[in-house]
Chains A and B, each alone.
Chain A
Amino acid sequence: MIHTQTEVRRLYPALADLDDRVFAATMAQAQVVALPAGT
């Protein structure tokens, strides 16, 4: 999840400057989903 959080912060600057605690709380409620091509 740490790697995913780093990716989110890198790809979405709008979330990058969230306070660390708020960002962690936000990500704790998020889900990582993988979807194969064609779905």
Chain B
Amino acid sequence: MCRQFPLVLSGSIRVAKVGDGRELQLYRVGPGESCVLTGSCLVGSRDYPATGVVESDVRLVVLPSAVFEQLMATHAPFRQYVFGLFAERLTDLMGLVEAVAFHRLDRRLASALLGHGKVIEGTHQQLADELGSVREIVTRVLRSFADQGLVRVGRGSVEVLDASGE
């Protein structure tokens, strides 16, 4: 459970999610910044859901949770700072989720297309179902492939133009 809110004065902390022996970097916290997950834990009284590793020697000021709560309740600029932090990190994390999800689907979709011959008959929804994804994302990845000249997307079909992807 988080009991303090950090204000980093110098150095850098890398915040990551660790699981199944893999690590996904979420963000870094440097001077003038703070850890949004810590803020979230303090606001929601939750356990910290990630791991923080000090990358370079860090000096920080930590505010006890009672002080954090008091500032949130009484000092609008601080409240705006914390909510701004939430908004900024949420945007970053959405980008990360998108990258992770799309990169994986990228490869899976390419592999699925190459396994079906030169012309693949089927809707984007069928491809999405095959890949355990959703139609909108498959359409977006196919559009990206088409923009790169790798495939031609038609109604109900996808033609592979460049199987080597070069």
Contact = CB atoms under 8 A, between A and B. Distances in A.
A4 B13 CA distance: 19
Chief secondary structure at chain A's binding surface: mixed
Chief secondary structure at chain B's binding surface: strand
Given A13-B77, A14-B80, A15-B78, A7 B63 contact: no
A14 to B, nearest CB: 3
Q: How large is the interface on B (under 10, 10 to 19, 20 to 34, 35 or more residues)?
A: 20 to 34
Given A8-B9, A11-B31, A32 B59 contact: yes
Given A14-B81, A29-B66, 18 more contacts: A4-B61, A8-B9, A12-B81, A18-B75, A18-B78, A26-B71, A29-B63, A29-B64, A30-B7, A30-B67, A33-B60, A33-B61, A34-B59, A36-B54, A36-B57, A37-B54, A37-B58, A38-B53
